[in-house]
């Protein structure tokens, strides 16, 4: 299984490593991608596996939409892999799933720093049993 380290960060004391599964880049994701509008002229997909303290935490299925050559839409589906990842964040002091998603959006924004569309945005979809986290959407800012 070919995986490359996309980013590594200490987040609130936890060692978080995000690996891109490069062997399945640009494969069709079995996900509803209706959030892409008519302005999207090209799509690409990526799959990331994220470990927290060397234990599997979540998988991220990512669909990137481009208007011409400019990154316009980032859609991320989050799948929980471990029981120690909380399903809901409302009673927590910090949300490790949210932290992972926001760091991943930052990583993608920096990768596309020279070609973002004005008003580029991201939206997150949670696979059950993950719930809540309605704050995980918005404009991509550099």
What pLDDT, in 10s, does the model give residues 44-59? 889 999 999 999 999 9
| Structural domain count, the chain | 1
**Displacement of CA 17 from its chain's centroid (Å):** 13
pLDDT reading at 114 higher than 80: no
Rounded to an integer, what distance in angstroms lies between the CA atom of residue 27 and that of residue 22? 10
Answer whether residue 10 is part of any domain.
no
pLDDT for residue 107 is more than 90: yes
* 4 is a domain residue: no
Asked if residue 119 is part of any domain, the answer here is yes
Q: Note whether residue 14 is domain-resident.
A: no
pTM of the model: 0.88
> Quick check: is 18 in a domain?
no
Asked, for residue 59, whether it belongs to a domain, the answer is: yes
**What is the model's pLDDT at position 16?**
96
Instruction: Identify whether 1 is part of a domain.
Output: no
pLDDT at 103 over 90: yes
pLDDT at 81: 95
9 domain residue, yes or no: no
Q: How far apart are CA 71 and CA 65, in angstroms?
A: 6
What residue spans of 1-142 are helical by DSSP H?
A: 96-111
Tokens 């599964």 belong to: 21
Q: Which domain holds residue 37?
A: 26-47+55-139
More confident residue, 125 or 33: 125
DSSP state of 28: P
pLDDT at 105 (0 to 100) = 93
Calculate what percentage of the chain has a pLDDT beyond 70.
89
Mean pLDDT of the region 9-25: 89
Average pLDDT value for the chain: 86
The single residue listed with the structure tokens 């891109």 is 20
Whether residue 35 has pLDDT greater than 70? no
* Widest pairwise Cα distance in the chain: 42
CB 107 within 8 Å of CB 7: yes
- Distances in Å between the Cα of 116 and the Cα atoms of 42, 105, 135 are 14, 12, 22
């Amino acid at each position: 299984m070919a995986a490359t380290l996309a980013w590594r960060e200490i987040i609130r004391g936890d060692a978080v490593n995000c690996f891109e599964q490069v062997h399945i880049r640009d494969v069709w994701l079995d996900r509803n991608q209706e959030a892409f509008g008519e302005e999207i002229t090209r799509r690409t997909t990526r799959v990331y596996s994220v470990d927290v303290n060397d234990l599997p935490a979540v998988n991220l299925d990512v669909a990137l939409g481009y208007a011409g050559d400019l990154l316009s839409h980032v859609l991320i589906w989050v799948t929980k892999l471990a029981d120690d990842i909380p399903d809901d964040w409302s009673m927590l002091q910090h949300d490790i799933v949210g932290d992972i998603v926001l760091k991943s959006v930052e990583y993608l924004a920096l990768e596309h720093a020279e070609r973002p569309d004005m008003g580029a945005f991201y939206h997150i979809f949670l696979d059950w049993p993950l719930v809540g986290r309605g704050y995980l959407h918005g404009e991509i800012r550099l």
